[in-house]
């Protein structure tokens, strides 16, 4: 059977989504539930071209497989997947990997802001201010000011020590 690809492509542009799904089932031999018109037209057009002119050569298939082996692998599963994604970042930084600008756990950082003295206690995994625990100094600064700002800058910890 000879397929006129250009005539078939012109007809696809006039099809409804239901007709595209039916045509997809005809050319692929399996149904689809997608409602994405662009994807359906492209897939059907590709399949019609394969049927009319032939598929990829073995050499092209081998090269594609070789490239696929070298491609970046998805490390985060799609949403809704039940696959285990590995450790989840909780927002806290272990003390041994933390910034050298921070004082040791148990220290209190003090800052006067708009006439009020602010006391922030440094914890092993975060910061305590006003009875709440925050994952970063920036989160504390945001709670104090109401706007986002760099926590090291707000508490003046990014300046070098003066002797």
Overall average pLDDT of the 71-88 stretch:
60
**pTM of the complete model beyond 0.75:** no
Average pLDDT over residues 138-145: 88
What is the pLDDT at residue 84? Answer: 54
138 DSSP 8-state letter: H
If one compares 94 and 106, the residue with the highest pLDDT of the two is 106
Which tops the pLDDT comparison, 87 or 37?
37
Higher pLDDT, 163 or 24: 24
CB-side exposure of 7: number of CA atoms within 13 Å?
A: 4
Give which of 114, 124, 110 is closest to 145, Cα–Cα: 114
Would you place residue 97 in the very low, low, confident or very high pLDDT band (cuts 50, 70, 90)? Answer: low
């Amino acid at each position: 059977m000879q397929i006129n690809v250009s005539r078939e492509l012109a007809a696809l542009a006039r099809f409804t989504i239901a007709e595209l799904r039916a045509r997809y089932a005809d050319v692929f031999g399996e149904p689809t539930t997608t409602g994405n018109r662009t994807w359906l037209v492209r897939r059907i057009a590709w399949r019609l071209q394969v049927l009319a002119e032939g598929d990829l050569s073995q050499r092209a298939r081998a090269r594609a497989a070789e490239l696929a082996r070298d491609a970046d692998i998805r490390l985060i599963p799609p949403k809704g997947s039940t696959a285990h994604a590995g450790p989840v970042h909780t927002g806290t930084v272990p003390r041994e990997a933390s910034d050298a600008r921070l004082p040791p756990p148990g220290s209190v950082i003090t800052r006067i802001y708009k006439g009020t003295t602010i006391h922030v206690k440094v914890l092993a995994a975060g910061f305590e201010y006003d009875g709440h625990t925050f994952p970063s100094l920036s989160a504390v600064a945001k709670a104090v000011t109401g706007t986002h700002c760099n926590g090291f800058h707000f508490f003046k910890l990014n300046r070098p020590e003066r002797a």
